[in-house]
Structure 1
Amino acid sequence: MDNAAAPLQPLAPALPPYQGIRLEDVRLVRTADEAKSAMAALLAADAIGFDTESKPTFVKGESSTGPHLIQLATDDTAYLFQVGSKPTPALAELKAILEASSPLKVGFGLSDDVKRLRNKLGIAPAGVLDLSVALRGGQRNDLGAKTAVAKFFGLHLQKSKKISTTNWASVRLSDKQILYAADDAQVALRVYRRWIATGGKVAPQPRDVIAPIPGTSHLIGTVATDENSIC
């Protein structure tokens, strides 16, 4: 009997890092004038990146009070809207942007984001495409942002667990929080652009819709869950 160990397989080379958005290309929307300017830029786009952040809960049974931050991104700028305990001066503009059928709002794992926007702010987003579902093809599991960036760009997207679990309800966000949140929105738009450029097709519907892809027609009229999302 040959007990020789099988030869070790060479490790796959590490992917180069994904270069995210620059801090100077992020706008924190704090005033009514800034909200109007952001709305004009976002509504002029054909598609925008979309995500939210919520202060994490650590106690069993504790309900989230999020979202506390809403991120929307064009190809060159990300806009961050803080929606903590105090009323935001941008609520009317946020509602106008998110409830418009155009631009298309693209993101990863948007089910909880949409639910929380409805529950907290009374906003019902329209024209939504969850890339986690749209990009999975015939796979059972949803496709996460890290996997999508590796697939479409051959790059490694760093997602810091430490930053993701920070206090997003804080009035003053750190630079690391700002960049993390802005990247979450803009990377979705960049992946969407590359997907479309390589033959991807989307047929957005007017309200909370995932575009139909082969084998997933039952998702029409819903936002797909990201419970099985691959990170």
Structure 2
Amino acid sequence: MTAREHRPTPDKDEIALLEPFERLGLDRISLVSTAAQAREACAALIEHTVWGFDTESKPTFFKDQVSDGPHIVQLATLERAWVFQLHEPDCRAQVAALLAHTGHIKAGFGLGDDTRRIVSKLAVQPAAVMELNAVFRARGYRKDMGVKGAVAVLFNRRFIKSKKAATSNWANPHLNEAQLVYAANDAWAAVRVYHALGLD
């Protein structure tokens, strides 16, 4: 393909016609809110060199309102996902250490804002972050792909995102099942896309 050729990005209407992309169920999602749970999660994650990565922050509704997010960090392997809540200081410190680890790739979509918020909240610069939109751009896709477009292109499937879950209160100490499924699958889809792109 020459530099002048561009690959088409599927639009919303085309994606809407596709069969749904499979999702991680609650049996493969771990909620991490304590230091002990964080240690267990770290031990499992460290065995894998690539993690799907995303964050969620409580939405802001006013013009000058500043978010104090992220409130959760999601990391996923091909087998399962971990949703880290950041209320507990030791849990927060362990997440920061994971994100700063240079030997593990953190792959995701639209990570610029996530990274800035992590620097502000966790006082750590995430290392080895891979912006998957940039990979698609390098391969001839002009628009930002996002997880929905990437799943459509690579798997010919429709990635389902709940708007209600997306705009829910991620700072709530008690996340509901819909929030857990939403958050975990964002990170899991990213690691699926990474491997489907043949980047490993």
* Structure-2-length-normalised TM-score: 0.88
In the TM superposition, residue 92 of structure 1 has moved relative to its aligned partner by 2.6
Residue from 13, 27, 31 that aligns with 1:28 = 31
Larger-gyration structure (1/2): 1
Structure-1 residue corresponding to 2:166: 164
Partners of 1:82 and 1:181 in 2: CA distance: 11
Computed over aligned residues only, the root mean square deviation of the Cα atoms, in angstroms, reads 1.6
Partners of 2:166 and 2:89 in 1: CA distance: 22
In the TM superposition, residue 192 of structure 1 has moved relative to its aligned partner by 0.6
CA contact 1:18–1:155 (8 Å) conserved in 2: yes
Structure-1 residue corresponding to 2:42: 39
Compare relative contact order (CA 8 Å, sep 6+) and give the higher one, 1 or 2.
2
Structure-2 residue corresponding to 1:209: none
Structure 1 residue 64 corresponds to structure 2 residue 62? no
Partners of 2:23 and 2:124 in 1: CA distance: 29
Partners of 1:185 and 1:88 in 2: CA distance: 23
CA contact 2:53–2:187 (8 Å) conserved in 1: yes
Partners of 2:153 and 2:129 in 1: CA distance: 22
Partners of 1:47 and 1:128 in 2: CA distance: 10
Structure-2 residue corresponding to 1:3: none
How many percent of aligned residue pairs carry the same amino acid?
43
**How many residues matched?**
186
* Structure-1-length-normalised TM-score: 0.76
Q: Any runs of at least 4 consecutive aligned residues in structure 1 with deviations exceeding 6 A, and if so which?
A: none
CA contact 2:33–2:88 (8 Å) conserved in 1: no
Residue from 42, 49, 53 that aligns with 1:50 = 53
Partners of 1:111 and 1:126 in 2: CA distance: 13
User: Which structure 1 residue ranges, 5 or more long, are not aligned?
Assistant: 1-10, 203-231
Partners of 1:74 and 1:122 in 2: CA distance: 25
